[in-house]
Amino acid sequence: MAPPATSMADIPDVMLEEIFLRLTAAEDLARASTTCPSFRRVIADHAFLRRYRALHPPPLIGLLQDTFSPAQPPHPSAVAARAFLGFDFSCSSFLPSTPGHTWRRVDFFDGRALLVGPPNKEDRQFWVKDLAVCDPIHHRYVLLPAIPDDLKALAPQLDLLTLEAFLAPGQNEEGPLSFRVMCVAQCTTKLLILVFSSSLGGQGQWHAHTFDQWSGQGTSASGGSFIHSHGGLSNRQFVHGCFYWHLHFRNELLVLDVRAMELSAINLPPERGTNSFALVEAAEGMLGMLTEGYGEDHDSDPFWLTYSILRNNQWHLNKVIQLPVNDAALVGVAGGYLLLEALYTTTAQETLKFGCFSVDVKTLQVEFFAELSKHLPGRLYAGFPPSLCAPTI
């Protein structure tokens, strides 16, 4: 008598996990989770989702503006983006509010949104009174405690130039609910970084990192103060566990390693000029840079990107990529793609259109991403379908 046939549902969970980890497309994993209860149980487990996310980072699925602008067919992210049509990323439906109190989103990182309340008119040192970190998929939020007065006093009002608040990875890399919020205060002679860590002291707490005369503490430049910065820090980007800012007055990148909380600096290519650029992860942990450019005649020459890689503290040109657009501006990098807003014409008609193109940061393949009706400032959203998203708060 032949032994009974074994079905997929009879396979041990540990083997199912290894099979599902090999599904590179999030939509395939989502379809598998609907096949039977045992598949759903394995795929919905938070530990499995963390393993899957480490192997297959979530794809870039859209641009968060006043509304959500999703990837459109035939882009590979279009299928995953359908699950978010009509989704409210504002977090206004579940954040506490009072008359006259409005929340404003200032950052989006790793599935979390950072929102700020209205300015505190009595305290001009820090322009926000309330900070909230939200998980828009699961409608969860954390209201951060106020920044202590003794920490704010480290940046005297008359010495303060600019302030910036943003999200950062948590100190506990294995903890899916761990996160940090950073407030960078740029002063004339120092850089003050106030950090709220959710993994310290149970509910979290603020602490400070002060870099007095920061040019002498880890940067490669030869002195100077922010008072002569002509714009100071700008164009914040995150690659390989570090935040990078463009130092205009030195044509350098200021680097903050968030694991060691140490500053350093990297020279930019002298020929980069004033063109905008995006930093990307290159092979073997190296840093890559995509820079926009034109030929000598902007009206007739094509738009292109140059791809350079930093090796041994020197930038090396790797490739020049011509784009099928008339003009473009770099939006940012997320989900393995560089996104550009562009003016372009189709082959079928010469009408000028406005939309987005993506560049795969590994293959450097250029693809149409979405058509837009108008330009609006926005932030990139990379994520799995809601059914595959574990809570982040």
Token representation of residue 140: 């969860």
Q: How far is 132 from 111, CA to CA, in rounded Å? A: 14
Is residue 170 assigned to a domain? yes
Phi, psi of 243 (to 5 degrees): -95, 140
Of 56-70, 120-134, 264-278, highest mean pLDDT: 56-70
Q: How far is 138 from 387, CA to CA, in rounded Å? A: 10
Token representation of residue 288: 């890559």
Averaged over 232-243, what is the pLDDT?
89
Token representation of residue 257: 């390693």
Quote the pLDDT of residue 146. Answer: 87
Determine the 3-state secondary structure of 107 from DSSP. strand
Quote the pLDDT of residue 64. Answer: 86
Residues 125, 21 within the same domain: no
Taking the whole predicted model, whether its pTM rises above 0.75 is answered as yes
> Do 67 and 37 meet the contact criterion of CB atoms below 8 Å apart?
no
Task: Look over the chain and give the mean of its residue pLDDT values, rounded to a whole number.
Answer: 82
Is residue 130 assigned to a domain? yes
Residues 23, 148 within the same domain: no
Averaged over 239-254, what is the pLDDT?
87
Is residue 238 assigned to a domain? yes
Residues 104, 210 within the same domain: yes
Quote the pLDDT of residue 201. Answer: 44
Residues 50, 98 within the same domain: no
Of 53-67, 156-170, 171-185, 359-373, highest mean pLDDT: 359-373
Residues 104, 249 within the same domain: yes
What is the tens place of the pLDDT at every residue in 22-56? 988 877 888 888 888 888 888 888 788 878 887 88
Q: How confident is the model at residue 160 (pLDDT cuts 50, 70, 90)?
A: confident
Q: Which helix (H) or strand (E) holds 387?
A: none
Residues 16, 120 within the same domain: no
Q: How far is 58 from 334, CA to CA, in rounded Å? A: 9
Residues 127, 251 within the same domain: yes
Q: Is the dihedral of CA 376, 379, 383, 389 positive or negative?
A: negative
Q: How far is 161 from 232, CA to CA, in rounded Å? A: 9
> Do 50 and 176 meet the contact criterion of CB atoms below 8 Å apart?
yes
Cis peptide before 176 (omega within 30 of 0): no
More confident residue, 234 or 173: 234
Q: How far is 259 from 169, CA to CA, in rounded Å? A: 9
**Domain final position from 234, 268, 302:** 268
Residues 51, 96 within the same domain: no
Residues 16, 108 within the same domain: no
> Do 267 and 313 meet the contact criterion of CB atoms below 8 Å apart?
yes
What is the tens place of the pLDDT at every residue in 301-315? 678 899 999 999 899
Residues 96, 232 within the same domain: yes
Q: How far is 385 from 306, CA to CA, in rounded Å? A: 33
Q: What's the domain range around 22?
A: 11-56
Residues 123, 45 within the same domain: no
Averaged over 148-166, what is the pLDDT?
84
What is the tens place of the pLDDT at every residue in 334-364? 988 999 999 888 766 678 888 999 999 999 9
Residues 121, 26 within the same domain: no
Percent residues over pLDDT 70 in the chain: 82
Is residue 252 assigned to a domain? yes
Is residue 227 assigned to a domain? yes
Domain count, the chain: 2
Q: How confident is the model at residue 222 (pLDDT cuts 50, 70, 90)?
A: very low
